[in-house]
Chains A and B, each alone.
Chain A
Amino acid sequence: MKITVKLFATFRVGRFAAATRQYPPGTLIAEVIRALQIPEAQIGMIMLNNRHAEPDQQLNDGDNLSLFPLVGGG
């Protein structure tokens, strides 16, 4: 199945800004994050098709996944 992954801020460094990739059916968000070698502790927010999502959610063909790092400075 095809998933479009968008990466924000520092997650782009050495990776990409947006890419549509093939994943096996039933892939979880956490598995995509792991495959991208993004440490779980760096994840701030996950959006799936413009909705807030959790890492244990399963992806479906055509989904748009956005990953944001934690930003907390002032």
Chain B
Amino acid sequence: MEELNGFLLEHATGDLLSWADQNAAAERFGVPLARIEETALSAGLLPARYQRNRQAISVTQQLTLFRSRVAVIGCGGLGGYVIEQLARLGVGTIIAIDPDVFEEHNLNRQLLSTTGTLGRAKVEAAAARVTEINPAVTLIPVRDCYSPENGTELLRDAQVVVDALDSIPTRLALAETCAELGIPLVHGAIGGWYGQVTTQFPGDNTIQKLYSQWVEGKGVEQQLGNPSFTPAVIASIETAEVCKILLGEGETLRNRKLSINLLDMQFEEVIFKP
């Protein structure tokens, strides 16, 4: 360990450690890249891939992100972008949950779908993508539906859960599981030109209020579908919320819903008085 530390310090330029040197260290000491990244960050060294995070995210905060575990429920429109951004952000462990394979109608918006991944499990495509971006990040693929039955087991160790689901009743069930486990939940939903984001902490019931009139079926997405840009916008806001929760920085959308209308380009904040 000390030897590894010495190697990393010796090869750093200033406090930056290049990807080539991370690989060289992994090979020389026979340890996974995840261990190299954690050792470097613990020693105050920043893997060079994160140098443009600087000012926004310090080396210490980068270590916090690396030691974090985030569950993403759904790997479609929202989930694909969220996973991509969490991996680039440097969140160390991502649990990706989705039962589906990519189909042709996903290609208009789902980041991880390509002609090459048609027929492939979404969570497997997510794992492959994350390895391409950063092999130091661990993606745990769970090819299954989230349900109240498996939820406790799947989400227990997560610090934050991201709602990237496409079903209202499943969302409501997920909110219950997160409340029971005491885990913050970042909610996002889209339909056509429209989307919404809110962040729910244990004890809050914003999501339950959002869907309090729901009886059955889907929302406006049923008629409007989802174009390419709406999931990207909503997923990015969700990821920013995750980042703030993990770092304990800034103001989240707790007790607030951001309603986004990309057709009229209006962002409306709705306050939920607790």
- Residues of A at the B interface (CB closer than 8 Å) are 8-10, 12, 17, 40-47, 50-52, 54-55, 66, 68-74
By a beta-carbon cutoff of 8 Å, the part of chain B in contact with chain A is 74, 76-79, 163-168, 171, 188-196, 209-221, 223-224, 226, 231, 259, 261, 264, 268, 270-273
Other contacts beyond A9-B259, A45-B211, A52-B209: 16, CB < 8 A: A8-B259, A41-B216, A44-B210, A44-B211, A50-B270, A50-B273, A55-B213, A69-B194, A70-B214, A70-B218, A70-B219, A71-B195, A72-B166, A72-B167, A72-B171, A73-B221
B195 to chain A, nearest CB (A): 7
Which 4 pairs across A and B sit closest by C-beta, in order of nearness? Answer: A73-B221, A70-B219, A72-B219, A74-B166
Q: How far is the CA of A45 from the CA of B168 in the complex (A)?
A: 13
- Name A33's closest neighbour in chain B (CB-CB): B213
Within 8 Å by CB of A52, from B191, B195, B212, lies B212
Set B168, B194, B212, B213: member contacting A40, Cβ < 8 A: B213
- Contact residues in B for A54 (Cβ distance below 8 Å): 212
**Given A8-B261, A50-B273 in contact, is the A72-B213 Cβ separation under 8 Å?**
no
What does DSSP make chain A's interface, helix, strand, loop or mixed? mixed
**What are the residues of chain A within 8 A of B268 when measuring CB–CB?**
8
